[in-house]
Amino acid sequence: MSLSVKLEAFEGPLDLLLHLIDKNKVNIYDIPIVQITSQYLEYVETMDRTDLNLVSDFLVMAATLLDIKSRMLLPVEETEEEIEDPRQELVERLLEYKMYKYISGELRELETEASQSMYREGSVPKEVAEYEPPVSLEELLNGLTLEKLNEIFKSIMRRQTDKIDPIRSKFGKIEREKFRVSDKIRHILDFSHAHSRYSFRNLLESQASKTEVVVTFLAVLELMKMGYIHLTQEHIHDDIIIEPVNMELTEEQERELEAALEA
């Protein structure tokens, strides 16, 4: 049976074998090796010999097919051990090649679709470009560092620890105290309405327990971040002074504060 094919249609010997399998409508897991080898050799005899590298690849595959064909024609001795199918390695190579060929085809289609698409350059609305935050974070934190806050926090913690009686503190039942940052934010805001300038250390020392001190400390940081209070400290290890920035809140600030209180 003659076979008429063109070299340009195949990228290599595996591509030709997949074509022959599809053309003969055979199962790739049960390749009729005699028939496929015969058709493959017919093609190799008629192919162009100018590209030696390509020809060598087809000849190597031809030798592989002949080797598989010869092993399948040899009589099989009956043994208890399972004999490996000589076509197994070739089937695995064909399946792997078929998978990569399918993936490359999908990528080629995506590339074609992308080349036909046009994208508009991104633009920022004028209102967004001209927006300026109501409070400058650099001005708010001018002269204040995390090291300074950390030192003050540690000193308050040490004082709270010193107040605890190591013997009497073990008497009775210790119940878990419940404090929320939102409650402390309300307390600090009310305190700020009544005091235009007050001490950060005194605010913490007025708390009853270590847990309440921690929650109050977090509430102060949250209000400072939102721009409702301003912290200053003249020298290292000095007390931090708290001053309300502006207690007349805009609608947007009211919504932001309500969201923080509900959290």
pLDDT means per 10 residues in the chain (263 residues)? Answer: 49 86 86 86 79 79 86 70 78 90 90 83 80 73 77 83 65 64 81 79 72 82 81 78 72 67 62
Q: Is residue 120 part of a domain?
A: no
Amino acid at 107: L
Q: Are 144 and 102 part of one and the same domain?
A: no
| Neighbouring C-alpha atoms within 13 Å toward the C-beta of 180 | 7
- The answer to whether 88 touches 71, Cβ cutoff 8 Å, is no
Q: Are 143 and 257 part of one and the same domain?
A: yes
Q: Which CATH number is 151's domain given? A: 1.10.10.580
Q: Is residue 121 part of a domain?
A: no
Q: Are 93 and 157 part of one and the same domain?
A: no
Per-residue buried b or exposed e for 176-205, using 16+ beta carbons within 10 Å of the residue's own CB: eeebebbebbeebbeebeeeeebebbebbe
* pLDDT reported for residue 103: 92
* pLDDT reported for residue 223: 82
* pLDDT reported for residue 133: 72
Q: Are 142 and 106 part of one and the same domain?
A: no
Q: Are 101 and 156 part of one and the same domain?
A: no
Residues composing the chain: 263
Q: Is residue 200 part of a domain?
A: yes
Number of domains in the chain: 2
- Please give the sequence-ordered ranges of beta strands (E in DSSP) within the chain, or none if there are none: 198-199, 229-232, 241-244
Amino acid at 60: V
3-state SS class at 87: coil
Q: Are 215 and 103 part of one and the same domain?
A: no
Distance CA 61, CA 139 (A): 76
Q: Are 141 and 105 part of one and the same domain?
A: no
Q: Are 160 and 51 part of one and the same domain?
A: no
Q: Is residue 131 part of a domain?
A: no
* pLDDT reported for residue 129: 79
Q: Is residue 257 part of a domain?
A: yes
Q: Are 92 and 202 part of one and the same domain?
A: no
Q: Are 184 and 239 part of one and the same domain?
A: yes
Distance CA 69, CA 64 (A): 9
Phi, psi of 56 (to 5 degrees): -65, -35
Q: Is residue 182 part of a domain?
A: yes
Q: Is the dihedral of CA 223, 229, 233, 239 positive or negative?
A: negative
Q: Is residue 228 part of a domain?
A: yes
Q: Is residue 126 part of a domain?
A: no
Domain housing 25: 7-73+84-110
Q: Are 61 and 162 part of one and the same domain?
A: no
Distance CA 24, CA 152 (A): 85
The edge-to-edge listing of strands for the beta sheet with 229-232 is 198-199, 241-244, 229-232
Query: Other C-beta atoms within 10 Å of 23: how many?
Result: 12
- The answer to whether 71 touches 83, Cβ cutoff 8 Å, is no
Token pair for 231? 């912290």
